[in-house]
Amino acid sequence: MSAINYDYISMPKIDLHCHLDGSLSLSFLANTLNLKDLDIHKIQAPTDCQSLAEYLTCFDLPVSALQEKEHIRDAVIDVVRQAAGENVRYMEIRFAPALSVNGHLDLQDVVQSAIYGCQKAFDKYGVFTNLILCAMRHHSLAQNLLVARCAREFLGYGVCALDLAGDEAGHPNEEFASLFEEARRLSLPFTIHSGECGSERNIALALAYGAKRIGHGIAAIKDHSLLTACRKANIGFELCPTSNFQTKAVTDTTSYPLRAFLDAGVLATVNTDNRTVSDTTLTKEYEFALEHLQIKKEDLRTLYQNSVEISFADDSVKHQLLYLMP
């Protein structure tokens, strides 16, 4: 059996909340877009970023690099390559396929290209990778229903779940009851970005809709009964510390809820969100948590086990992941 290793640098890692467009390397973007001088300020959140809405402006350029089959395939490989370099052994990459639909690519083309990228990346780096398809808050119900049905079409064949992403404050969860009613009808697992902008009501609605996980979920700390309900329902929380500070989901380390979530028995995890936009890695996230968020080295095993438990991986993959860090 493998020796237990609590060294945050070399330990096996799991990244459950990683956006494809927000994690493309500078070299990939420069080569794909044929840019000699890539303005880093267009793709990295400013140090004085004031909100999620401002943070999201960094995604326009990366999305433009995801408009061809081979670029989508290679983008997935690029992100897995980065993760493999810090011993990530399983990851769920999420992206909005509708943003790559154009005159020569439909949803199925886009998703198949990304799945092919996952397969090629596994062959090269040995990282188990699944895809989460994102519906977008600013898109119509018709557009988002097509994404949900596409996710169901490829469920178990490289796609593992549905998500809802975008400007949470501008389009709260109340607007998406019909989308998640359809997801339930399709028996499609889903996570929902909720509570990233201070709204515990969005988290409560995500639970009511049937979400298995919550993207970020920072606001749950404001409602003890809600947090208790999440614990009892085994709801997973996908925390992304660097991003959460950049978007002003929290403003000081003492109020960051990771320690409180773990102490309450909530299935909290640590993830990257956007490797390039947030200029981060999973190793950096663990280091930050250890130095500033009251996390101890012995908590790293709990965080890893939580990630395995709430992942959308199949049981055989989960068994292999647990063996890596018993």
> Which domains, from first to last, does the chain contain?
13-324 (3.20.20.140)
- Tell me the C-alpha distance between 247 and 63, whole Å: 20
Of how many residues is the chain composed? 326
Q: Are 300 and 289 in contact (CB under 8 A)?
A: no
> Residue 56's closest CA among 154, 171, 142?
171
Three-state SS at 78: helix
Task: Tell the residue number behind the tokens 């647990």, with chain if given.
Answer: 322
Query: Which pLDDT value is given to residue 1?
Result: 36
Q: What is the mean pLDDT of the segment spanning 152-176?
A: 96
**pLDDT above 80 (res 5):** no
> Residue 82's closest CA among 267, 284, 309, 291?
284
Q: Are 75 and 20 in contact (CB under 8 A)?
A: yes
User: What is the phi-psi region of residue 83: left when phi exceeds 0, alpha when psi lies from -120 to 50, beta otherwise?
Assistant: alpha
Higher pLDDT, 55 or 133: 133
Q: Which two tokens stand for residue 131?
A: 């895809």
Mean pLDDT of all residues belonging to the chain:
95
**pLDDT above 90 (res 271):** yes
Q: Which residues contact 172 (CB under 8 A, 6 or more apart)?
A: 199, 201, 202, 205
Q: Are 239 and 249 in contact (CB under 8 A)?
A: no
Q: What percent of the chain has pLDDT over 70?
A: 98
Query: Which pLDDT value is given to residue 41?
Result: 77
Q: What is the mean pLDDT of the segment spanning 202-223?
A: 97
In this structure, the number of other CB atoms found within 10 A of the CB of residue 209 comes to: 19
**pLDDT above 60 (res 250):** yes
Res. 3 pLDDT band, cuts 50 70 90: very low
Please report, for residues 52, 81, 83, 140, 289, the alpha-carbon distance to residue 12 in angstroms, rounded to integers and kept in the order given.
30, 15, 11, 40, 17
In this structure, the number of other CB atoms found within 10 A of the CB of residue 319 comes to: 11
Higher pLDDT, 281 or 48: 281
Residue 70 is among the residues annotated as catalytic for this protein:
no
Single out the catalytic residue among 86, 92, 168, 196: 196
Three-state SS at 216: strand
pTM of the model: 0.95
Q: Which two tokens stand for residue 21?
A: 């467009």
- Among the residue ranges 27-36, 42-51, 292-301, the one predicted with the least confidence is 42-51
**pLDDT above 50 (res 288):** yes
What amino acid is encoded at 41 in this protein? H
Query: Which pLDDT value is given to residue 47?
Result: 78
